[in-house]
Amino acid sequence: MNHQFLPNNEASRKEMLESIGLSSIEELFGCCIPEQVRFKGELDLPEPLSEMEARRLLTQIANVNRPASSMVSFLGGGVADHYIPAAIDHIVSRSEFYTAYTPYQAEVSQGTLQNIFEFQTLICMLTGMDVANASMYDGASALAEGVLMASATTRLDKIVISQTVNPQYRETVQTYAQATGLEVVEIPHKEGLTDVEAMGEEVDDQTAAIVFQNPNFFGQVEDPFPISELKEKGKKTLLISVVDPISLGVLVPPGDYDCDIALGEGQPLGNPVSFGGPHLGFFAATQKLVRKMPGRLIGQTKDVDGQRGFVMTLQTREQHIRRHRATSNICTNQALNALAAAAYLNLMGKEGLQEVAQHCLQKANYLKEKIAALPGYTVPFEGPSFKEFVVKANRPFTSIQEKMVDRGFLPGIHLQPYYEGMEDWFLVCVTESRTRDELDRFAAGLEGV
């Protein structure tokens, strides 16, 4: 058969078969695959489509959906519709980037390698940490890897984690922990913040890591300093901080509060929401932990002519060298998503990141105050919040949601599935993409439903 993705025609197939002394493709497969495991029938798949039909089909599928991007969205929870500068898609659409693989051959992979080296640098600048890796699958799995790394480094098995950490991240940590026999202790929140006192009671000389998130899942800004001080209650305890990269335009970076591992979801940096993936996790640590890091690390070196170049380095940590003694099984990163993130940080630059963060902060707090003043709604958690905040209604959220969706708004994330007793509570996210007009109409809408 001829197909647009298959460059060999019948004539060249025949010629190749002849040249290797075979009469048919059947003969080739016949001598390789034992008869009893040969699949005899035809796979039950839909008839093949032409490109035009495929485009039509996918457009139909897309049209069945009602995407957040066509509405006024207040959905966050770690994935948010920050504005993506036009230049980014043009950069990630370069097929020299997206049709390459892991840079095994450094001489012809300098584009990918230099970009990752720059990405590592940008993440260090953002977090104030010493070293960053080439990226992980997403924020949740980055945290799971961080927890494993803390356990491996300290040779301790107890993880103390605040319940203000993103519920999906905690679920992922639980999944990994179950498989490795780690003990995970979750500390219930106290009025929307990490209960530092209760956390302190759990930290002991068996504690590998303390985990908190800032801003936390409720959008509340934590005071990281007393949490960091809890490390002293343990022996070798490390502090893992989950951070929103955009918030680091205004919030104190992990490097300033003696954090050991800083990580998070990189989607807000130039990546589309895309129904939850592909995104990227970023992962940074202190210098002394570098040889325990999971994932790829790119280092600077020189070629035989003395020219600067970049290579994958410290590979003795990795699976293809150390096999079962590797620090992790991770062998890919999210290079293309990291490319978008790096391009975003470069375009926004020193000024832009602060400005975006300010816009989020100011707009979210403007809306928070407006909603707090509405009859039937309260803002239950006191204290500062960044771009998200929790609202409690005096009636079921599901009915509010239904009516708001009819008016073109996605009002937020229902908290009930994740936290007990929050039936009428929801999490509202405001990015720089929302206008004052949208915020005013949203508040008016809430009042009316």
Partner 1 sequence: MKNKDLIFEKSRPGKIGYSLPGLDVPSKNDILPEKVQRKNPAPLPEVAEGEVLRHYINLSQLNHSVDNGFYPLGSCTMKYNPKINEDVSRLPGLAGLHPYQSEEMTQGALKMMHDLEKYLCEIAGMDRLTLQPAAGAHGELTGLMLMRAYHRHRGQEQRKKIIIPDSGHGTNPASVTMVDYETVEIPSSETGCVDLEALKEVLDDQVAGLMITNPNTLGFYESNITEICRLVREAGGLLYYDGANANAIMGYSRPGDMGFDIIHYNLHKTFGTPHGGGGPGSGPVGVKDKLIPFLPCPLIEEEDGQYFFDYDRPQSIGRVRSFFGNFGVLIKAYTYIRMMGAQGLKQVSEDAVLNANYIMENLADTYYLKYHRNCMHEFVLSGKKQKDEHGVTTTDIVKNLLDHGIHPPTVYFPLIVEEAMMIEPTETESKETLDRFIEVMEEIAKMAEEDPEKLKGAPYTTPVRRLDEAGAARNPILKWEPEQ
Q: Tell me if 335 contacts partner 1 by CB under 8 A.
A: yes
Q: Which range in 162-170, 185-193, 196-204, 227-235 contacts partner 1 by CB under 8 A?
A: 162-170
Location of structure tokens 């009859």: 375
In the complex with partner 1, the residue whose CB is nearer, 318 or 424, is 318
Cβ-based neighbours of 24, under 8 Å, separated by 6 or more: 17
Q: Tell me if 46 contacts partner 1 by CB under 8 A.
A: yes
Residue 428 beta carbon to partner 1: minimum distance, rounded to whole angstroms:
12
Give which of 161, 295, 155 is closest to 241, Cα–Cα.
Answer: 161
Give which of 420, 409, 413, 415 is closest to 446, Cα–Cα.
Answer: 409
Residues 54-83 that bind partner 1 (CB under 8 A): 54-55, 57-70, 73, 75, 77-79, 81, 83
Cα separation, 196 vs 224, in Å, equals 10
DSSP symbol at 83: -
Residue in 87, 185, 372, 373 binding partner 1, rule: CB under 8 A: 87
DSSP string, 317-371: GSHHHHGGGSS-S-----HHHHHHHHHHHHHHHHHHHHHHHHHHHHHHHHHHHHH
In the complex with partner 1, the residue whose CB is nearer, 44 or 420, is 44
Residue in 23, 188, 308, 406 binding partner 1, rule: CB under 8 A: 308
Cross-strand partners of 158: 183, 207
Residue 124 beta carbon to partner 1: minimum distance, rounded to whole angstroms:
5
Taking CA atoms, 410 is separated from 137, 167, 366, 400, 426, in Å, by 27, 20, 18, 10, 11
In the complex with partner 1, the residue whose CB is nearer, 202 or 222, is 222
In the complex with partner 1, the residue whose CB is nearer, 106 or 201, is 106
Q: Tell me if 168 contacts partner 1 by CB under 8 A.
A: yes
Q: Tell me if 420 contacts partner 1 by CB under 8 A.
A: no
Structure tokens at 163: 């319940």
Cα separation, 227 vs 197, in Å, equals 9
Q: Tell me if 8 contacts partner 1 by CB under 8 A.
A: yes
Residue in 23, 94, 197, 372 binding partner 1, rule: CB under 8 A: 94
Q: Tell me if 10 contacts partner 1 by CB under 8 A.
A: no
Q: Tell me if 394 contacts partner 1 by CB under 8 A.
A: no
Q: Tell me if 410 contacts partner 1 by CB under 8 A.
A: yes
Residues 187-246 that bind partner 1 (CB under 8 A): 221-225
Residues 96-125 that bind partner 1 (CB under 8 A): 96-112, 114-115, 117-118, 120-122, 124-125
Cross-strand partners of 59: none
Residue in 160, 230, 251, 259 binding partner 1, rule: CB under 8 A: 251
SS3 for 161?
strand
Amino acid (one-letter) located at 262:
A
Taking CA atoms, 353 is separated from 131, 198, 296, 336, 431, in Å, by 21, 35, 26, 21, 13
Residue in 186, 206, 229, 272 binding partner 1, rule: CB under 8 A: 272
Residue 150 beta carbon to partner 1: minimum distance, rounded to whole angstroms:
14
Location of structure tokens 């170049």: 309
Q: Tell me if 315 contacts partner 1 by CB under 8 A.
A: yes
Q: Tell me if 322 contacts partner 1 by CB under 8 A.
A: yes
DSSP string, 394-425: SS-HHHHHHHHHHTTEE--EE-TTTSTT-TTE
Residue in 205, 232, 258, 278 binding partner 1, rule: CB under 8 A: 278
Q: Tell me if 185 contacts partner 1 by CB under 8 A.
A: no
Residue in 39, 375, 394, 420 binding partner 1, rule: CB under 8 A: 39
Cβ-based neighbours of 159, under 8 Å, separated by 6 or more: 147, 150, 151, 173, 177, 182, 183, 184, 185, 207, 208, 209, 211
Residue 56 beta carbon to partner 1: minimum distance, rounded to whole angstroms:
10
Residue 196 beta carbon to partner 1: minimum distance, rounded to whole angstroms:
14
In the complex with partner 1, the residue whose CB is nearer, 157 or 447, is 157
Amino acid (one-letter) located at 3:
H
